[in-house]
Amino acid sequence: MPFDAAIWQATDPATGLVTAPMRAENLGEDGCATYWDCELLTEKVNLFRDLARAEVPVAALRESTADAPEHSTTYRQFLRPRGLDDELRAVLRVDGQWWGQVSLFRARGRKRFSRKEITTVADLTSPLAESLRSFALPAPGPACPARGPGLLLFDATGTLLSINDEAREFLEAMPPGPSSPAQLGIHVPAWIHSTAANALIEDGTRIRARDRAGRWLVFHASCLRDANGTPAQTVVVIEPAKATEVASLLTAAYGLTDREVEITQLIARGLSTAQLASSLHLSQHTVRDHVKAIFAKTSVSSRGELVAKLYTEHYRTLNPDARLRVWHE
């Protein structure tokens, strides 16, 4: 299916917010801030968060506006100035979880996206989401050296005011993607800009992203207000993800059902089969069937191995020096 430009984005399934990696095709770096300002602040047409809840998570701009795309601020401020005339948006979701999103663009003079093409993309959303989900599975990598949190400070317009050395190191380890140059000699990824902008609307924005070595990091954005309560700045804190923050991603990546996730969490607390059955009001036979299915999906053969794989293995890899070592004679 032909298109002239595109933006491919991974999302944190817990929030739907954009995270790394991100890929832009045939688009300059200057448009990222405009694109996300429209999405977060002014857009009313085909919002990604609306598509994520729709029966069909795909829509085209011209079809949705009855060939009146000027009703969209993204069209007026982002597409039209770049010679683009139609956009097809798709949310990549599987098992009710939102793992990524795609924007395909066509240039002025090209045919608009057809209903058949919308259906074609809709058929691909789940397979693509499953592929994205598979990358959340743990992968061996070098230990993350002990360091303090990374800090980035932005003003209310999104200009980077300050950054510490730890943040520079974290950013250097992230996958390449669309970014914008800052006055401090670095390029800030577009998805970090959107995270900081979102914090002006919804304080406490928190997303997870994976670096090139396969290590999970948490990016937490908060709004700082002046004496009158007006948003003045945003701060983004970067830290290695804790085991509990990654466990939900891993259970989703393995394709566990809600019931299987619930059982896995209770297994991590040490409940026996009888206790699980009593707590969940199930028969012990049903509990054993669930546990067997969990073992098969995660490729483990014991409860201890399951807990290690989902809750402790990742923590050991990221923080090898954060454990108390006790020697027994």
Q: Average pLDDT over the chain, rounded to whole?
A: 85
**What is the percent of the chain where pLDDT is above 70?**
89
* pLDDT confidence tier of residue 30, bands split at 50, 70 and 90: low
Q: Among candidates 151, 224, 226, 232, which has minimal Cα distance to 192?
A: 151
Give the integer Cα–Cα distance in Å for 168 and 162.
11
321: part of which helix (H) or strand (E)?
none
Asked which of 122-136, 173-187, 262-276, 300-314 is least confident by mean pLDDT, the reply is 300-314
pLDDT tens for residues 47-60? 898 898 899 999 99
Is the predicted pLDDT of residue 314 greater than 60, yes or no? no
Greatest mean pLDDT among 23-37, 176-190, 229-243: 229-243
pLDDT of the residue at 258: 84
Helix locations, the chain, DSSP H: 32-37, 48-51, 61-64, 73-74, 115-134, 165-172, 190-199, 243-253, 258-268, 273-280, 284-298, 303-307, 313-318
What are the structural domains, with CATH classification, of the chain? 5-134 (3.30.450.40), 150-241 (3.30.450.20), 244-318 (1.10.10.10)
pLDDT of the residue at 90: 97
pLDDT tens for residues 5-20? 999 999 888 777 788 8
Rg (CA), the chain: 22
Helix, strand or coil, per DSSP, at residue 35: helix
Which is more confident, 33 or 175? Answer: 175
Q: What is the DSSP string of 56-92?
A: S-EEEHHHHTTS-GGG-HHIIIIIGGGTEEEEEEEEE
Is the predicted pLDDT of residue 157 greater than 60, yes or no? yes
* pLDDT confidence tier of residue 202, bands split at 50, 70 and 90: confident
Give the integer Cα–Cα distance in Å for 67 and 129.
30
Is the predicted pLDDT of residue 313 greater than 70, yes or no? no
Give the integer Cα–Cα distance in Å for 89 and 194.
18
Give the integer Cα–Cα distance in Å for 80 and 34.
12
**What is the percent of the chain where pLDDT is above 90?**
44
In this structure, which amino acid lies at residue 272?
A: S
The residue-averaged pLDDT of 158-171 equals: 93
Asked which of 40-44, 127-131, 173-177, 279-283 is least confident by mean pLDDT, the reply is 40-44
Q: What is the DSSP string of 160-208?
A: EEEE-HHHHHHHHTSPP--EEE-TTS-EEEHHHHHHHHHHTTSSSEEEE
Contact 122, 88 (CB under 8 A): no
Is the predicted pLDDT of residue 141 greater than 70, yes or no? no
pLDDT of the residue at 237: 96
pLDDT of the residue at 29: 63
Give the integer Cα–Cα distance in Å for 198 and 299.
38
Give the integer Cα–Cα distance in Å for 60 and 8.
16
Helix, strand or coil, per DSSP, at residue 27: coil
pLDDT of the residue at 112: 95
Give the integer Cα–Cα distance in Å for 94 and 124.
11
Which is more confident, 328 or 89? Answer: 89
pLDDT of the residue at 319: 37
pLDDT of the residue at 295: 92
pLDDT tens for residues 256-312? 888 998 898 888 777 889 999 999 999 999 999 999 999 999 888 888 788 777 765
